[in-house]
Amino acid sequence: MKLGELIQALPFISLTTESEEIEITAIHTDSRRVTPGSLFTCIEGFQTDGHLYVQDAIEKGAKVIIAEKRVKSTVPVIYVNNSVRALAIIVNTFYDYPSTKLPLIGITGTNGKTTVSYLLDALYNHFGKKTGVIGTIHNKVGDRYSATSNTTPDALILQQLFHDMQNSRVEQVIMEVSSHGLDLGRVYGCDFDTVIFTNLTQDHLDYHKSEENYFFAKSQLFSRLGNTYDGRRKFSVINADDHYAETLKKTSAFPIVTYGIEREADVMAYDIELLPGRTIFQLKTPVGTVKITSRLTGKFNIYNMLAAGSAALVNGIPLHIIKDTFEVVPPIPGRFETVDFGQPFGIIVDYAHTPHAVKNILETCKEIKTGKLYCVLGCGGDRDPEKRPLMAQEAIKHADYAIFTSDNPRTEDPRAILDDMVQIFDGHVHNYEVIIDRLTAIEKAMSAAEAGDLVVIAGKGHETYQEINGRKYPFDDRVVAKNAFLNKEF
């Protein structure tokens, strides 16, 4: 594509006739990936600044540079006020606005995004649709899977994914949208058709600084649906039981569908039975009521099914497909995942990394356990430190015994993280201990548990690594628990 055509939407940019005719063959933000004929966009991130790598990009064949700070260059430089916004516009133009040609569902909220995305993927597949998924665990284009480093990729990767999905004839895209992704402009240029709000509880205050800022970031997904009624069906799906529901409704100009358990909503669950290994409830909708018997456990998973079911209904998936799907869909990896290798006690691995999520998991476990409840829990480094003691409080409140340990300490001292977790306890709290090494902590839980007990290993869920001082080491809670039980003499 010619450079002049590529940047036509950017204001106050003038090019020479010669520059306008430069042929751009690719767009990159990582100088290591630059190929001959590329346009290199300098993005200032948390760990590095693309402006420092202009010469590297030129040496690899970059023909044009986009920058917001002065740089030395032997090729044309286009200066903009905001490189992230400029990138979103340019990359959308380059790939011919792919998200406008794909039905796109966005899911935001503190907890439940991944489970809702899995449920929607299963629903659309059961309905005979080819799907694309962008999320925490992986990216998926039809039957092809790829790794992901962020819940919500940046604009360049997103538009490349959408372009790939369009070429692969994907019929429905389902995307987790994080508050960071919204606040940092990663979803600029994404044309959503249906957006879902799961809930909002304390998380990411290290970044957002306040709950109000955190909510504002989430609310942007709903306001970005737009204000014009041009014939495209667009919907906002909102958890009526969340305390931000009424405020969030005001941010969307499009039809709102609510779901819930406690408050009156369009889609509701009642006659709920929470049982070991299954959940039973009546699903009431504007088009009928059906009984659901699901392998997903816990009240929080009912909310996830309500969210996915509501979005599916307004987009034309019949109620019987929703019932059939919910009754056969397996547990999601790392989300209240049962680990069974013949041990006489239960093991649950879960991604719970907020106070609310820890509470939800342990409350559910209390209802299904027959013996003692153990909880192995850590808090991530370089993340909101204010939630650490709150997570620990939930653990000692609901578990019979808690073992606090490392999660992904990243660049922090694991001992300092654990000190934050237990700082509020006094000498009257005795149902916990601190074991810095996560493997040793899991071994201790395996050693302590007896027949009928239940062990919850929380915080990492699906992750297969532990990040320490910038390096990722192989570590899978499920594998470690199995090896700890099978290889150790108790």
The verdict on 321 and 357 lying in the same domain is no
User: Is pTM beyond 0.85 here?
Assistant: yes
The verdict on 86 and 107 lying in the same domain is no
**Domain final position from 311, 328, 345:** 328
The verdict on 350 and 314 lying in the same domain is no
pLDDT tens for the chain, 490 residues long, are 999 999 999 998 988 888 999 999 999 999 999 999 999 999 998 778 999 999 999 999 999 999 999 999 999 999 999 999 999 999 999 999 999 999 999 999 989 999 999 999 999 999 999 999 999 888 999 999 998 877 788 899 999 999 999 999 999 999 999 988 888 888 999 999 999 999 998 666 666 678 888 888 899 999 989 888 888 899 999 999 999 999 999 999 999 999 999 999 999 999 999 888 899 999 999 999 999 999 999 999 999 999 999 999 999 999 999 999 999 999 889 999 999 888 999 999 999 999 999 999 999 999 888 899 999 999 999 999 999 999 999 999 999 999 999 999 999 999 999 999 999 897 788 999 999 999 999 999 999 999 999 999 999 999 999 999 989 999 999 999 999 888 755 4
Q: Helix, strand or coil for residue 290? A: strand
**Domain final position from 299, 328, 357:** 328
Both tokens of residue 22? 């430069």
The verdict on 121 and 84 lying in the same domain is no
Both tokens of residue 226? 């737009």
Q: What's the CATH number where 47 sits?
A: 3.40.1390.10
The verdict on 322 and 399 lying in the same domain is no
Q: What's the CATH number where 212 sits?
A: 3.40.1190.10
The verdict on 182 and 122 lying in the same domain is yes
The verdict on 65 and 158 lying in the same domain is no
Distance between CA atoms of residues 442 and 376, nearest Å: 7
**How far is C-alpha 78 from the geometric centre of its chain's CA atoms?**
34
Distance from the first to the final alpha carbon of the chain: 66
Residue 122: per-residue pLDDT? 98
Residue 21: per-residue pLDDT? 94
The verdict on 165 and 260 lying in the same domain is yes
Distance between CA atoms of residues 335 and 296, nearest Å: 9
**Domain final position from 328, 354, 387:** 328
Give the torsion sign (CA, 175, 178, 180, 182): positive
Provide φ and ψ at 297, rounded to 5°.
Answer: -105, 140
Residue 207: per-residue pLDDT? 67
Residue 490: per-residue pLDDT? 47
The verdict on 131 and 66 lying in the same domain is no
Question: Hey, which residues does 106 pair with through a beta bridge?
Answer: 175, 195
Residue 184: per-residue pLDDT? 87
The verdict on 222 and 312 lying in the same domain is yes
The verdict on 9 and 103 lying in the same domain is no
The verdict on 372 and 300 lying in the same domain is no
What's the domain range around 419? Answer: 337-487
Total domains in the chain come to 3
Distance between CA atoms of residues 41 and 27, nearest Å: 7
Q: What's the CATH number where 474 sits?
A: 3.90.190.20
CB 297 within 8 A of CB 304: no
